[in-house]
Chain A
């Protein structure tokens, strides 16, 4: 059980984020919880592609015993490339959420979730 510590860290991050989304009243704290969930999912993607005793999959100035034994001693590169896309999507969604929160605060005057009930004129 102690060999799977990165996966248990991923589960802990997702649960901290879910607790902040479900049980908090301030809108900014809910957005922080969503950002923590996204970080946990990115960590899970990178941890899936780890090989025991592997190095970075780049051939520039690699040690000579690594480069001759090529696919067996390098980490999988495809999950790292997909995590790049996921990080950029997280930044874009966070920017839109924060500007919408500024618009809501100007309209209602408060940031409490339980006070925004109906479509106010």
Chain B
């Protein structure tokens, strides 16, 4: 697919940081407000797909190597399983929440009932949220880049 006009490219340059900041906000505050890893990852990935539509898939496929995106996604999956294995080492069972009462990071317990919002509260959940968010962003971006580039080649059009 070829690129779009200059007005579309300029406006997508302006709105891209706002979309990424909003997506990272939804990922990071997953234990306080509705949201989490999967939802924030979908928002940030749709911001990246907007760049593919504006700049054309042939130009972006030359700049971004798909093998690096695949390595990013594997890093996210390994982080998720690594945090679960640390629970097995420090506690007694798989997926143990080992940072809630005795840990260094994230170990304040909120009072019951109506309360405000403290960021330092949940145990292992923000680390898992970040790992799953990175995995979803890299996966959806890789799928859309490869499918958009392959549909513009000569042999796939007939």
> Which A residues lie at the B interface, using CB under 8 A?
56, 58-64, 66-68, 70, 84, 88, 95, 98-99, 102, 105-106, 109
Interface size on B, residues (CB 8 A): 18
User: Which B residues contact A (CB, under 8 angstroms)?
Assistant: 32-34, 36, 38, 110, 113-117, 143, 147, 150-151, 155-156, 158
Shortest CB-to-CB span from A67 to chain B, Å, is: 4
Cross-chain contact B156 with A59 (CB below 8 angstroms)? no
Complexed CA–CA distance, A56 and B36 (Å): 15
Chain B interface, DSSP helix/strand/loop, else mixed: loop
Q: Is the CB of A99 within 8 A of B147?
A: yes
Q: Which of A84, A98, A102 contacts B38 (CB 8 A)?
A: A84
Closest to B153 in A: A106
* Smallest beta-carbon distance A46→chain B, Å: 14
| CB contact under 8 A between A95 and B143, given known A60-B116, A62-B114, A106-B155 | yes
CB of A56 within 8 A of CB of B34, answer yes
